[in-house]
Structure 1
């Protein structure tokens, strides 16, 4: 895993906003050195981004976290 530069963060934000059709999505640098880049929607952190480089190819893995308490109730409950 390698560090994500500020220019990559900006490019990822543009790409993810377009891909997910979410203007409220932001890709934020780590709050402290050594922590992960965070993805937020309307200011609420919903996941992290990790950069991987293998044989000169760069990819980004996104881990989204959805809490059970944030899920809508099912019918009949």
Structure 2
């Protein structure tokens, strides 16, 4: 993957997720993975796929069991906006 592609994907992820803490780091040595980093923590890898003339990028996130809270409990229910009352 080119430096320009890496920079464009990084800019997209920052814009999409609303944080400048995300970095896409090129490998130090040829053949190694491109890493997706938040702060100081590697959270996954970035892969490029070029098939049938179309290019796409995939982020593979890795979550280690040891990084999870013991019991996060149930996910909060989404807030549903109340319909406006008729006037």
Which TM-score tier does this pair reach, normalised by the shorter chain?
A: 0.7 to 0.9
Q: Which has the higher relative contact order, 1 or 2, with Cα contacts under 8 A spaced 6 or more apart? A: 1
RMSD: 1.5
Q: Which runs of 5+ in 2 are unaligned?
A: 74-87
Runs of 4+ in structure 1 off by over 6 angstroms are none
1:36 equivalent in structure 2: 33
Write 1 or 2 for the structure with the bigger share of strand: 1
Q: Larger C-alpha radius of gyration, 1 or 2?
A: 2
| C-alpha displacement of 1:22 | 2.1
2:83 equivalent in structure 1: none
Equivalent residue runs for 1:1-77 within 5 Å: 4-74=1-71
